Structure 1
């Protein structure tokens, strides 16, 4: 993953296999904007593909070798299988095949890169940095793993020399970037299907921090044990500057969290009022990271804090879906126990004493096997927890691994089938309650159905 980064001009005509994915479409969108001849395909006809076609890309629905056309470089998404006909044709023709992250790295060129990594909170924090910089009068390029209502898109080529990017650690592809500023929101064991052990996960974040130049900056959350340990190791090595943010008393950027009433953020003894539209302590911490990055890039602290008030959230990050019978429905991408806990804590805040009901879909057999008890402990924060079958994504089934590994530890929850999930969750909700759909799979489709059943 640490091979030299390709120069954008050297790629020639670029074909994307799996162009409809949120990460792939982001890279394609920026390449089109920067004058690259782009083509791409996906199994389904997705709205973003029509947007790319309007922007000038040649788009095909379905995979076939002839879709490559006269491409000189191929970018393949992580979900693309080795027997994909376009990937086979590219390899047979001897074309260079890049990972999505390598394609993104090529678009960055000599820009000042802000890379946002962490087990949780990457998309939200990347979005916050981008919105903050825009509100402060800068025009960064950005690539985010989620659509952001305040931005309208998940990626764009800006006019400044700043590039803000979500850096995905799931397959160690974040090691392909060369950041000037790196944010690490937290470090926990996850993606053990790739890494094998928690120690390998921690080592990958060490390698990510080592990518920073001597004049770079590592920003880590002082409230997270993993990120705090990373900061200590990098400080001991003395290879680059390190600053921490959080509510911990020794944090360099100190957050004084006042819950729903807002927060104060302190840097070098100077306090700024922080008022956010998004609930939850985790979002206040994400905002502190964005504030610190913006100040490092030259934004005045008061302007940075004020700009964060314009951030209205990222898609599938505690996203409001609608209301009916006095019941509000939200959707969240949470697919790790820590994320589920954070989403339910935010729901508790919004519910203001009323009940919280969650419809959860586990993501990946391997993750369910590793964290079943932790998922149950997080889901027990809800008054009702209904659990769907596991969304397999890229994995084949693992014998003995089902959603029952989670539900057997629930206090007030059960397995629920796809056909009766909507009816079951709606039957449990009363006026003032919150319903949350959570998971990285297709559980997001249930939100609108729940709102419709509620008469919203």
Structure 2
């Protein structure tokens, strides 16, 4: 067994790997820039976490793993290299973590966390995903045996190191193009290599790129033809989607919208490589959603509050359609979107799509850009989003069962459906843990 230190262990992806290796018997330590619910949970699980980063964290570890956001001048990186330790990125670490595993690897620009969690509800095995499954109450489940359900990340090509036995691709929409130097041939080539490395492939064949793949044996889903008779079911204020898939009959899954049926269908087709149809149909009912994906924080006859991780225009558009459907079913007249743009590069690269994705919303509130470490760039949100007459706030404060915008008027939000979008700290603001309070 090894002693392994994780720099940036509070990240949702790195924390899952740390937990997995701890369950295998390795001695794990870690550090992060600030204390969070994840670092608190890791401490309770017996993992020593140093906050903030400090060079004293580097002691007798065998090697050090760092997250993608860690810079070369990080004090622990500098100290580890000074001591001559093996220092590897999360991407490089996957090569030995998943080497001997039978991996069900799920990739795609959108929906991979949800599809992974759905797949984990049906396929027996360890689970390593970049979100907290409500079914399991964690982002990592350890089980004996070789099967691993793994959410693979295309943002830095690390999915190429995931050793897929079954490769599932929800879509291949260009994202994180700054990493690929805006080289589309390299970007799409990475997806093809990912699929080629798997024994079994399950793809959304109506994706503009995936639909062009020839000479590649795959289980292909054609959503417009294969998914029929979608019905929204509200049960105890919880949304469910019922649909028919190919000639396999009717399925029901937690969630709402066409994208949920698509994700579930891909997970079903991947599961059928292991189990019979009736087993898959029943086990899918165990899926209860994932934290920060259409996460219903409060709902009653006058007010619903939802937190969603969507931070790309395609995701926002799809989730907003689901929010409107849910609002109608619950008898709520207005839909307010609170958007915390995530990264200047993403906002600039997709500005026209962002301007279109909020179409039909009754109210739009825009928070400051969550930079994720990027240098500030000027974006004239007031001008670019003028069609929505947006309101601007520094943050959102949860006060008991209402929301207050930290704007010029301290606006109260307590009617209709309010949904927050973003991959930054908006999730904590909506939960009453606003850093600006």
Relative to the length of structure 1, the TM-score reads 0.85
Equivalent residue in structure 2 for 1:309, among 279, 285, 288: 285
Counterpart of 2:169 in structure 1 is: 184
Counterpart of 2:72 in structure 1 is: 82
Equivalent residue in structure 2 for 1:411, among 388, 391, 395: 388
- Give secondary structure in 1 for the equivalent of 2:271: helix
* Higher mean displacement: 124-133 or 324-333: 324-333
CA–CA distance in structure 2, aligned partners of residues 393 and 405 of structure 1: 24
8 Å Cα contact 2:230-2:258 kept in structure 1: no
Quote how far apart the aligned CAs of 1:330 are: 0.4
Equivalent residue in structure 1 for 2:336, among 345, 357, 369: 357
Counterpart of 1:130 in structure 2 is: 120
CA–CA distance in structure 1, aligned partners of residues 40 and 368 of structure 2: 32
Q: Does 1:148 align with 2:127?
A: no
CA–CA distance in structure 2, aligned partners of residues 116 and 392 of structure 1: 27
Equivalent residue in structure 2 for 1:289, among 266, 291, 297: 266
Distance 1:338 1:425, change over 3 A: farther
Equivalent residue in structure 1 for 2:12, among 5, 19, 22: 22
- Stretches of structure 2 that go unaligned for 5 or more consecutive residues are 234-241, 397-403
Counterpart of 1:31 in structure 2 is: 21
CA–CA distance in structure 2, aligned partners of residues 177 and 84 of structure 1: 26
Q: How does 1:281-430 map to 2 (within 5 A)?
A: 281-296=258-273, 298-323=274-299, 326-352=302-328, 354-398=333-377, 400-404=378-382, 406-408=384-386, 410-418=387-395, 421=405, 427=412, 430=415
CA–CA distance in structure 1, aligned partners of residues 22 and 227 of structure 2: 40
CA–CA distance in structure 1, aligned partners of residues 432 and 267 of structure 2: 35
Q: Does 1:264 align with 2:244?
A: yes
8 Å Cα contact 2:132-2:290 kept in structure 1: yes
8 Å Cα contact 1:183-1:289 kept in structure 2: yes
Equivalent residue in structure 1 for 2:203, among 194, 208, 220: 220
CA–CA distance in structure 2, aligned partners of residues 438 and 149 of structure 1: 19
CA–CA distance in structure 2, aligned partners of residues 259 and 436 of structure 1: 22
Q: Does 1:57 align with 2:33?
A: no
- Give secondary structure in 1 for the equivalent of 2:248: strand
RMSD: 2.3
CA–CA distance in structure 2, aligned partners of residues 425 and 178 of structure 1: 51
Q: Deviations over 1:233-266 (max 9, x none)?
A: xx32x4xx311124233xxxx2224231510112
Distance 1:148 1:39, change over 3 A: same
CA–CA distance in structure 2, aligned partners of residues 117 and 331 of structure 1: 23
Structure with the higher strand share, 1 or 2: 2
CA–CA distance in structure 2, aligned partners of residues 406 and 415 of structure 1: 13
Quote how far apart the aligned CAs of 1:86 are: 0.5
Distance 1:205 1:39, change over 3 A: same
Quote how far apart the aligned CAs of 1:425 are: 9.7
8 Å Cα contact 1:190-1:198 kept in structure 2: no
CA–CA distance in structure 1, aligned partners of residues 432 and 222 of structure 2: 38
Quote how far apart the aligned CAs of 1:170 are: 1.0
Quote how far apart the aligned CAs of 1:163 are: 0.5
Q: Deviations over 1:136-161 (max 9, x none)?
A: xx3x1111111111111101221232
8 Å Cα contact 1:27-1:103 kept in structure 2: no
- Stretches of structure 1 that go unaligned for 5 or more consecutive residues are 1-8, 451-456
Q: How does 1:60-75 map to 2 (within 5 A)?
A: 60-75=50-65
8 Å Cα contact 2:394-2:406 kept in structure 1: no
Distance 1:426 1:210, change over 3 A: farther
- Give secondary structure in 2 for the equivalent of 1:317: coil
Q: How many residues align?
A: 414
Quote how far apart the aligned CAs of 1:16 are: 0.7
CA–CA distance in structure 1, aligned partners of residues 40 and 422 of structure 2: 27
* Higher mean displacement: 164-173 or 46-55: 46-55
CA–CA distance in structure 2, aligned partners of residues 364 and 173 of structure 1: 20
8 Å Cα contact 1:246-1:288 kept in structure 2: no
Distance 1:426 1:339, change over 3 A: farther
Quote how far apart the aligned CAs of 1:418 are: 2.6
Counterpart of 1:444 in structure 2 is: 427
